[in-house]
Chain A
Amino acid sequence: MPEFESAIIKTYAPNPGASMFLSDESATTKLLVRSDQAQFGLVFGASSAVGEALICATRPDEWLILGSEPAVDAAAAGIDSGGFTNVIPFTHGRSLFRLTGAHAAGLLEKICGIDWSDAMTPEGAVTSASVALTTCDIIRHDRNGIRSYLLMCDRSFGQYLFDALLDAGDEFGISVE
């Protein structure tokens, strides 16, 4: 199989003094679970690690499994296939970016109307919103105590959104990781 090609085709010079980082993680395996059954004990708006995979309750009847292919496969074994349940491969349909930095919420405030405070969007929170006029699923997924967000948008908007995030992050000293 040839290598997976991301929507991000530009190359970016690194910013050595950066304190905020944006990375393209679009190649991450993504599996969508649609079901009228409760899955993984997760209610809408929450996320949780299952093994090496991350499960996100993205809609009231929808869960998204993110991770490496083996990790996603392992997590998928826990899907309750009762009721009306469908599992849909989603790796190719969405661009996935990670934004990390102490001021990551400050960047998102510039292009998204959600309240990013710890009370309203704590670690693990999952929400959907317009980011720079693009519909996104956003997961707060801190790394080593540093604020971090996963942003997932329709693949066709990927390059646009990546550039919009970099533009908004200019004042925070952002760099592509």
Chain B
Amino acid sequence: MTQSHRLNPQPGEVIDRSAPLNFTWNGKRLTGFQGDTIASALMANGVEVVSRSMKYHRPRGYMTADFWDPNGFVQVGDEPNVRSGHRQLTSGITVDPQNVWPSLDYDVKAANGLVGRFLSAGFYYKTFMKPAALWPAFEKVLATFAPGGSVDLDSTPGYYDKRYSHPDVLVAGGGPAGMAAAIAAAESGARVMLVEHEHQLGGHLRWGSTADQASARQLAESVAAAGVEVLTDSTVTGRYEDSWVAVSQRSHAHAVERLIKARAKVLIVAPGLIERPYVFAGNDKPGVMLSGAVRRSIAMYATRPGSRAVVFSGNADGDAAAIDLERVGVDVAAVIDARSGANIVEAHGGAKRVSSVELADGSSIDADLLVVAAGWTAPTSLLNMAGDRPVYDASCARFFPSATIDNVLSCGGIAGDGNFDEIVAHAQATGRLAAERAAAVQHRLQARTARSAPVEFAEPAWPADVRSPLGRDAHPELFQSSTVGMVDFSEDVSSKDLVLAAKEGYDSVELLKRFTTATMGPSQGKLETVNTVAVLADARGETIEEVGTTVWRPPYAPISLGGLAGRMFNPHRVSSIHPWHESNGQIPIQVAAWERPEHYGNPAGEVTNTRTNVGIIDVSPLGKLDLRGPDVPKLLNLLYTNKWSKLPIGGVRYGLMCAEDGVVLDDGVTGRLGEHHYLMTTTSSGAARVWEWAENWLQTEHPDWQVHITPVTTALSSINIAGPKSRELLSRLTSIDLSREAFPYMTLRTGIVAGIDDCIMWRIGFTGELSYEVHVPSGYGLHVWQALIDAGADLGVAPFGLEAQRIMRLEKGHFIVGQDTDGLTLAVSAGVASLIKLDKDDFVGKTELAWALADRMHELPQVVAIQTAAPTVVPTEATQIVRPGTNEILGRITSSRMSPTLGRSICMGQVPSSLAAGGTALELVLVPDGRRVAATVLDTHAHFDPEGARLRA
């Protein structure tokens, strides 16, 4: 085919004939032009059938030939469900029909049409409900009938993007009214964003007369001159609370699609009107087109939509379509004037095309094109989303806005009718009003925002709406003929389906919609809603006003999942020592947002080296809060269960933090650096939570306390040096006396380490070894780490990762909050009763813990150390603990590892208090095989060095 249906150049065409584009359709090589849509290129090449309908697989051609065309979905390469009426042609694309087998011309599934009388609305619900056991089998068969194209899961995902915007005025719709409103608003000083669904501004002027097209160009030039931000091929998909307007931008040069989150001060709704199909027998046959589609095809794309036409016209646009057709040489066999009562009843024809049109008077006219001009639907979706409930005007056969919404205004066809000058004048007034109201909103925002520029005048009064309303043109109510036809072309729902559903009791329009799925397809009701309501009204013997409509919700038009997701941010944190870990064989693990070394290849070896020589671990993610002020001890006494008033300068203490219900919230060590200066550490994942927790208590309960809390987690890089040779290693890098007497366990010192001043060292031991935790200003963290590695070569220094640390802390019996405790674990269950000081005036959780200690210990679990009888068996964490010989679940293993130090498995777990005593026999049910193994509770939490001799060395 060689563009057999392409017309001679048309005055308003948007194609560039100097830029031919090759593409394939259904395996055939075709040519179009730059500026063509896929649909116009196919029409230019004489393609008549482009798809099969969803349920009955009826052949379909173009009906609206634009974004809303329910028949134009195609597969483009690996992208399914492309709207060929809207997507522009690009060079070399492969376009195919979708969901047909074996071919578009001979689709076996068209046999559904033969049994169509049994496939009415609700067929699935009624037929496949029982027997329920067979549903999986039904599902497999039904899945083969699922509509849509095919997804290639191996294809490379596109780049999707997001953007925020704060326009004063956002105009939805770039037709004459939208453009005029945007210009007026911009000229009134507003920042304006104009969003147009189609590829060009101009709306219906683009396919109108020469004068119309000139007006469109002139308005577009004025839009540009006014500094309006214009987004074509973009859709306002929703309007939400606080004037949050979502825009799907498909035209961005760097992204497949971009979701714009616009916080518009005023939204102007100017989407124009959408031409409505007419319900009659054969209304979905290829060759039945709406008048706008015909006029667009001729004027914009220079394609000839048929050879011999019948025009069914209820308005001036239908008449204009007949004139356009005659102008380009199409034989207009008849104009059936609906305004005089004439009607059509059926489009006859074979599988590929209309061949004749049957009229209500019984006559028949041969034609391969039936043009329908039955009226328009006002797409009031955005008004609905803003709270409006448009009302139906029977004299005009369409809905109009009803409510007055302060920051949502409408203009253009959705608001009323008029000639060009009247429409533009109303839109200009709307734009000016929007700008005034936006200025009032801006004043309010600016006056209330600390960082903003100062406002220099009083807040203006809210501008009143003094616009003269547009008129309303009469239009005949043309919804359905005397015959049965398709109402929802996307979902294959006919007028008969709707009537039947109403008879079955689904006679509320909301119920009818959900039962039949009418209006729920990709057209989102733009073509179908009013006809659906009209058919239901007829079935109920009521008026459209009495039936009412469904509520239009977001999205205005479907948006891709990629567009909704936007760019995927994955913030992750690394320490200052991260480069060393990366270049020295770390196996990383993600812990909360942190990337940390889990190990460096041999975690058991790392344990052994640390227990034998010296190991260093990067513990920078440890939460760190700088506390300053005379009332810090009060805060610590409030947050921790133990006492803090007498912590000396240079002292370090462990604390357990609870929520009000006594449940363990976090734990950590706090050291006193000066008279009024402390450093608190938290768990790595709990840093933000503890900061917020402490600030909450300070700001809401004790605003009189003088305490400043400053998070310094990454201001300080933290290195733990552990092992019997740790003192020797550290002493090589600092002049601070590290002797046992001068720097005892649970104390801190400050000074120079490896030449770096302001380091904080505290002597603590999570691993159970003699160890020092050094906190270094992070800009020098890597330097100190490397210095430790270099200085300790002869001592056998080696890094160890998180896994080795976890093994060693389990050997030592230190629990981890959130692993060995859970959301129900009270502090009294954690095995640290000595830290709960009920003789303090108060602390968070005291009441609950006092009650628990007095009356509830018998019913509460305890965290205990456990060893299996078989030393090589390492039960999986979360393994159930049962009463021996029974299936009574008593508790669970919370931590378990093979201990390289002890050469056996070691565990921690939660059991009832009655079974927490050392020597108690337990039984574990292993996963996955259910094998049972004996286990015993230990006397203390520590499997290794229970006296703590090593860490106090």
- A6 near B164 with CB under 8 A, answer no
Partner of A170, one of B254, B756, B783: B254
A25 within 8 A of B: no
- A157 near B573 with CB under 8 A, answer yes
Chain B contacts of A170 at CB under 8 A? 254
A156 to B572, CA, bound (A): 8
Size of interface on B: residues with Cβ below 8 Å to A: 55
A117 to B453, CA, bound (A): 10
- A160 near B626 with CB under 8 A, answer no
A61 to B398, CA, bound (A): 59
Q: Which residue of A lies closest to B716 (CB)?
A: A92
A94 to B712, CA, bound (A): 9
A153 to B712, CA, bound (A): 12
- A155 near B714 with CB under 8 A, answer yes
Chain A contacts of B711 at CB under 8 A? 93
Whether A155 contacts B576 in the complex (CB less than 8 A), given A93-B712, A120-B446, comes out as yes
Whether A84 contacts B706 in the complex (CB less than 8 A), given A160-B572, A160-B573, comes out as yes
- B452 near A171 with CB under 8 A, answer no
Chain A contacts of B55 at CB under 8 A? none
B125 within 8 A of A: no
Chain B contacts of A114 at CB under 8 A? 164
Whether A1 contacts B756 in the complex (CB less than 8 A), given A93-B714, A109-B164, A125-B451, comes out as yes
- A91 near B779 with CB under 8 A, answer yes
Chain B contacts of A167 at CB under 8 A? 567
B144 within 8 A of A: no
Residues B548-576 near A (CB distance < 8 A): 567, 569, 571-576
A152 within 8 A of B: no
B102 within 8 A of A: no
Whether A155 contacts B451 in the complex (CB less than 8 A), given A27-B779, A86-B629, comes out as no
- B453 near A171 with CB under 8 A, answer no
A50 within 8 A of B: no
A27 to B778, CA, bound (A): 11
Chain A proximity mask over B431-458: 1 for CB below 8 Å, otherwise 0: 0000000000010011001111100000
A13 within 8 A of B: no
A27 to B166, CA, bound (A): 34
- B569 near A110 with CB under 8 A, answer no
- B451 near A45 with CB under 8 A, answer yes
Q: Which residue of B lies closest to A93 (CB)?
A: B715
Chain A contacts of B162 at CB under 8 A? 110-111
- B708 near A34 with CB under 8 A, answer yes
A155 to B708, CA, bound (A): 21
Whether A2 contacts B780 in the complex (CB less than 8 A), given A32-B710, A86-B628, comes out as yes
Chain B proximity mask over A1-12: 1 for CB below 8 Å, otherwise 0: 110111101000
- B710 near A88 with CB under 8 A, answer yes
Chain A contacts of B756 at CB under 8 A? 1-2
B318 within 8 A of A: no
B296 within 8 A of A: no
Chain B proximity mask over A138-162: 1 for CB below 8 Å, otherwise 0: 0000000000000000111101110
- B579 near A6 with CB under 8 A, answer no
A132 within 8 A of B: yes
Chain A contacts of B594 at CB under 8 A? 156
Please report whether the interface of chain B is mostly helix, strand, loop or mixed according to DSSP.
mixed
- A171 near B254 with CB under 8 A, answer yes
Chain A contacts of B166 at CB under 8 A? 115, 117, 120
Chain A proximity mask over B714-754: 1 for CB below 8 Å, otherwise 0: 11100000000000000000000000000000000000000
Q: How far is the CB of A88 from chain B (nearest CB, A)?
A: 5
A122 within 8 A of B: yes
Chain A contacts of B295 at CB under 8 A? none
Residues A87-128 near B (CB distance < 8 A): 88-94, 109-115, 117-122, 125-127
Whether A84 contacts B629 in the complex (CB less than 8 A), given A2-B783, A6-B779, A126-B451, comes out as yes
Q: Which residue of A lies closest to B446 (CB)?
A: A119
A113 to B163, CA, bound (A): 8
A126 to B450, CA, bound (A): 9
Chain B contacts of A117 at CB under 8 A? 166, 191
- B571 near A133 with CB under 8 A, answer yes
A34 to B429, CA, bound (A): 52
Chain A contacts of B655 at CB under 8 A? none
Chain B proximity mask over A157-176: 1 for CB below 8 Å, otherwise 0: 10111001001001100000
A76 within 8 A of B: no
A125 to B161, CA, bound (A): 27
Chain A contacts of B567 at CB under 8 A? 110, 167
A101 to B162, CA, bound (A): 20
- A133 near B163 with CB under 8 A, answer no
- A9 near B569 with CB under 8 A, answer no
Chain B contacts of A155 at CB under 8 A? 576, 714-715, 778
B471 within 8 A of A: no
- A134 near B571 with CB under 8 A, answer yes
Chain B contacts of A113 at CB under 8 A? 164, 261
Chain A contacts of B781 at CB under 8 A? 5
Q: Which residue of B lies closest to A170 (CB)?
A: B254
Chain B contacts of A159 at CB under 8 A? 574
A38 within 8 A of B: no
Chain B contacts of A119 at CB under 8 A? 442, 446, 452-453
Chain B contacts of A157 at CB under 8 A? 571-573
A66 within 8 A of B: no
- A110 near B708 with CB under 8 A, answer no
A40 within 8 A of B: no
Chain B contacts of A89 at CB under 8 A? 715, 758, 777
- A110 near B163 with CB under 8 A, answer yes
A46 within 8 A of B: yes
Chain A contacts of B710 at CB under 8 A? 32, 34, 88
- B783 near A5 with CB under 8 A, answer yes
- B575 near A156 with CB under 8 A, answer yes
10 A-B pairs with least C-beta separation: A93-B715, A45-B451, A45-B450, A156-B573, A115-B166, A4-B779, A125-B451, A92-B778, A155-B714, A171-B254
Show 7 residue pairs from A and B whose CB-CB distance is below 8 angstroms, ordered by the A residue. Answer: A2-B780, A5-B780, A45-B452, A89-B777, A93-B713, A118-B453, A132-B569
Chain A contact residues, CB within 8 Å of chain B: 1-2, 4-7, 9, 26-27, 32, 34, 43-46, 84, 86, 88-94, 109-115, 117-122, 125-127, 132-134, 154-157, 159-161, 164, 167, 170-171
Chain B contact residues, CB within 8 Å of chain A: 161-166, 191, 253-254, 261, 263, 442, 445-446, 449-453, 567, 569, 571-576, 578-579, 594, 620-621, 626, 628-629, 706, 708, 710-716, 755-758, 777-783
Apart from A92-B779, A110-B162, A117-B166, list 16 A-B contacts with CB within 8 A.
A2-B755, A2-B756, A4-B779, A92-B714, A110-B161, A121-B451, A126-B451, A133-B571, A154-B573, A156-B575, A156-B620, A156-B621, A164-B569, A167-B567, A171-B253, A171-B254
